[in-house]
């Protein structure tokens, strides 16, 4: 990932008022994790399993923070049970996900393309797919506004076209 694209993600989070990040670092977002952990604007909590991420983010929200869950596409699938619990509590949670299996992915991960969007639809989690680097920041800000208004998780899927 080019550093200016990682900065667009981080700048979008800042502009949206997100100040708490949760994640299990992955290679697609390595630069994003590096920028967030070095920036005093954010409190970052790493988790040992993607299923823990939504619970940590929910606790942060109840503690007055604005959380983001940075999660790999495969990790999103691992976290489905925890994400389903957020609906019961009406907790807003922005998720920013490098979208594997879509156009521009440097490695073919087509199984993720087959299941990611249908899984989000089944769980009633609205999402936006970002295909151009210029759309990253604006989409993150807009989706954060939606998650706060609707009190539910909202996902931003960033394709390889936008990341690499």
Q: For residue 132, what pLDDT is reported? A: 94
pLDDT in tens, 21-32: 999 888 788 899
Domain count for the chain: 1
What does the pLDDT average to over 114-125?
A: 90
Q: For residue 42, what pLDDT is reported? A: 97
Q: For residue 2, what pLDDT is reported? A: 83
Q: For residue 102, what pLDDT is reported? A: 73
Q: For residue 157, what pLDDT is reported? A: 96
User: Which one has a higher pLDDT value, 157 or 160?
Assistant: 157
Asked if the model's pLDDT at residue 106 lies above 70, the reply is no
CATH number of the structural domain spanning residue 101: 3.40.50.970
Q: For residue 164, what pLDDT is reported? A: 76
What does the pLDDT average to over 29-36?
A: 93
Q: Closest by alpha carbon to 22, among 91, 72, 88?
A: 72
What does the pLDDT average to over 48-66?
A: 93
What does the pLDDT average to over 115-136?
A: 93
pTM of the model: 0.93
Q: Which of 69-78, 81-90, 107-116 has the highest mean pLDDT?
A: 69-78
Segments forming the whole domain that contains residue 131: 3-163
pLDDT in tens, 87-103: 667 889 999 999 887 76
């Amino acid at each position: 990932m080019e550093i200016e694209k990682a900065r667009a993600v981080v700048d979008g989070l800042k502009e949206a008022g997100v100040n708490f990040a949760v994640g299990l670092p992955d290679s697609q977002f390595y630069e994003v994790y590096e920028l967030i952990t070095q920036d005093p604007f954010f409190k970052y909590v790493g988790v040992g399993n993607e299923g823990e991420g939504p619970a940590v983010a929910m606790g942060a929200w109840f503690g007055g923070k604005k959380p983001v869950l940075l999660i790999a596409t495969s990790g999103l699938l691992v976290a489905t049970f925890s994400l389903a619990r957020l609906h019961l509590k009406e907790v807003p949670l922005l998720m920013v996900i490098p979208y594997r299996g879509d156009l521009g992915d440097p490695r073919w991960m087509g199984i993720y393309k087959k299941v990611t969007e249908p899984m989000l639809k089944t769980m009633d989690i609205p999402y936006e797919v970002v295909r151009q680097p210029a759309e990253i920041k604006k989409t993150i800000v807009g989706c954060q506004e939606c998650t706060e208004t609707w009190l539910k998780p909202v996902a931003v899927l960033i394709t390889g076209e936008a990341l690499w």
